[in-house]
């Protein structure tokens, strides 16, 4: 009997119903892709709904989008079940939006924060990225090294973009939201984050 539940089971049924002529290997690939797509869509819709209740939707989306870009290569801990992951992500990024909305005006020198993130972020990536989970282990040392380099590049590029935006515009609230998104993603790479979520993965 299959032990798949929720979105994984839905994705499998959709693929089996829509792509009957494909091989089982091709169906498994499509099923995995559909699971990622539906999970991401569901998480974003829940985040949009909850953050809209506090009028911080744009800030929350800025934070989660920035975090997601860095997460592509750096990895990071997340809950073992989609429901828990979606709920925790919604709480975290809505909270980040609220922090920026309520306290953003008190942060005067954003460039110092950019520099601090570049230094601490580079160190965290060097020590822990790519941070994996037992469901998706990275066995190739070459792939690990490549993902680490890509993580450095993405981190540097994001910080450079936000640095330029901060210099040339008055969108400091959105810059702060993005920087907090980066900060959260960097935190998810650390052993402390794994312990908080009760994950025993070997990182």
pLDDT tens per residue, the chain (203 residues)?
A: 344 456 666 666 666 666 666 666 666 666 666 666 777 788 899 999 999 999 999 999 999 999 999 998 998 887 667 777 788 899 999 999 999 999 988 887 899 999 999 999 999 999 998 887 665 666 778 888 999 999 999 999 999 999 999 988 888 999 999 999 999 999 999 999 888 877 665 44
Residue 128 lies in a domain: yes
Length of the chain: 203
* Residues of the domain holding 88: 54-196
Residue 127 lies in a domain: yes
Distance CA 32, CA 15 (A): 10
Residue 114 lies in a domain: yes
Residue 63 lies in a domain: yes
Number of domains the chain is built from: 1
pLDDT of residue 56: 97
Decide: helix, strand or coil at residue 131.
strand
Residue 131 lies in a domain: yes
pLDDT of residue 134: 63
Residue 176 lies in a domain: yes
Residue 112 lies in a domain: yes
Go through 46-70 and write b for each residue having 16 or more CB atoms within 10 A of its CB, e for each that does not: ebeebbeeeebbebbbbbbebbebb
pLDDT of residue 1: 36
Distance CA 66, CA 109 (A): 20
Instruction: Choose among 126, 130, 122, 96: nearest CA to 201.
Output: 130
């Amino acid at each position: 009997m299959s032990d798949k539940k929720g979105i994984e089971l839905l994705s499998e049924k959709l693929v089996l119903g829509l792509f009957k002529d494909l091989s089982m290997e091709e169906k498994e690939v499509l099923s995995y892709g559909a699971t990622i797509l539906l999970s991401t869509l569901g998480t974003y819709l829940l985040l949009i709904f909850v953050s809209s209740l506090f009028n911080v939707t744009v800030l929350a989306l800025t934070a989660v989008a920035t975090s997601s870009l860095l997460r592509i290569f750096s990895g990071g801990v997340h809950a073992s079940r989609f429901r828990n992951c979606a709920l925790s992500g919604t709480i975290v990024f809505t909270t980040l939006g609220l922090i920026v909305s309520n306290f953003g005006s008190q942060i005067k020198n954003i460039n110092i924060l950019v520099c601090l993130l570049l230094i601490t972020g580079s160190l965290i990536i060097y020590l822990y990225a790519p941070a994996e989970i037992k469901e998706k282990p990275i066995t190739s040392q070459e792939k690990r090294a490549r993902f680490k380099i890509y993580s450095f590049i993405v981190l540097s590029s994001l910080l450079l973009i936000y640095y330029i935006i901060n210099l040339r515009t008055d969108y400091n609230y959105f810059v702060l939201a993005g920087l907090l998104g980066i900060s959260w993603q960097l935190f998810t790479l650390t052993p402390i984050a794994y312990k908080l979520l009760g994950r025993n993965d070997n990182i």
